[in-house]
Amino acid sequence: MRETSNYKLNQWDKPDQILMEDFNADNAKIDAALKELRDIIINGDLLMTMFDQYDKRIASLEQRMTAAEQRIIRAHGE
């Protein structure tokens, strides 16, 4: 039996024996993943995480722009 790459859910091939326990285990994984996603969204953690990531990207771009401006000023002797 194979598994999916992300959540390791069961993927059966024709010769595999299908067991109720496998379905129950998959349902428990899906239930837990959905609850985690719901908790993240409801608590606002998702928005804060996204904000933090964008804030870091903006800060990095600002630093790169400042460095580029300084190189231009030095190159032109201003």
Domain that holds residue 53: 44-78
φ, ψ of residue 15 in degrees (nearest 5): -75, -10
> Could you tell me if 5 and 35 lie in one domain?
yes
pLDDT of 78 higher than 70? no
> Could you tell me if 29 and 2 lie in one domain?
yes
> Could you tell me if 56 and 70 lie in one domain?
yes
The answer, as to whether pTM is greater than 0.85, is no
pLDDT tens digits, one per residue of 10-62: 999 999 999 999 999 999 999 999 998 888 787 777 778 888 899 999 999 99
Number of domains making up the chain: 2
Q: Give residues with Cβ within 8 angstroms of 1, minimum separation 6.
A: 10, 11, 12, 13, 16, 22
Q: Give residues with Cβ within 8 angstroms of 39, minimum separation 6.
A: 45
Distance separating alpha carbons of residues 2 and 8, to the nearest angstrom: 9
> Could you tell me if 17 and 55 lie in one domain?
no
